[in-house]
Structure 1
Amino acid sequence: MSGQNAVREFTAQMSVREGRWRLYVALLNTTEQWPEHRFGHSVPTFMDRTDALSVLGFAPVPGAEWEWTEDSETPDDPASPVVLIAAIRVCSWSGVSV
């Protein structure tokens, strides 16, 4: 039973689609619905992202930093629009320990 209360780390990711930013926490290997927050059309600030994570019940792992990756909408097409994806390690303070 002690393992059920262990704090687990997850990856929060943020991406933009059709001009709107979306932040979600990937709860891999679980049956839980992935928590999600949608922003407006402006790029979310560091505090916007931190506040959204808090509303979702998560906080960045101490020392974790946002890492940005560039991808493309159409793989293998150098003319494809760029897709930016940000990720950070988070832990749940709201009881998600699955």
Structure 2
Amino acid sequence: MMPSARLANGYSGEWEVYVVTNGTPSQDWPEHDFGRSTPVPTLAERAAALAGLGYEGADGAEWEWQEFHGDATDRVRLLAALDVRPIEDSR
């Protein structure tokens, strides 16, 4: 299974990126908190955060966005996903 990076505006509304691995979410998923709710982190910021976690986008991978909401009055949560690979795998 190829790891996947997720960019989300979590329940607090602040942006975070984490990498879904075979480990458990609470202990083994590398994560980076951008510390802000706006603006959405740029592609360069996301790439730098992933590199800091030891990952990079897989060849040809692009961010894919999804929108989650309850009803018309709920705050929309956004989630983007990108297939990634460990940086050492690209060398």
TM-score by length of 1: 0.75
1:21-69 alpha-carbon deviations (Å, 9 max, x no partner)? 01000113x3561000000313210000000000000000011000000
Aligned to 1:5: none
Of the two, which has the highest radius of gyration? 1
CA distance in 1, matches of 2:14, 2:66: 17
TM-score by length of 2: 0.80
Out of 9, 27, 46, the residue aligned to residue 16 of structure 1 is: 9
1:35 is aligned to 2:16: no
C-alpha root-mean-square deviation of aligned residues, in Å?
Answer: 1.9
Quote the residue 2:74 is aligned against: 80
Aligned-residue sequence identity (percent) comes to 39
Gaps of 5+ in 2: none
SS at 1:9 equivalent: coil
As a proportion of its length, which structure holds more helix?
2
Gaps of 5+ in 1: 1-7
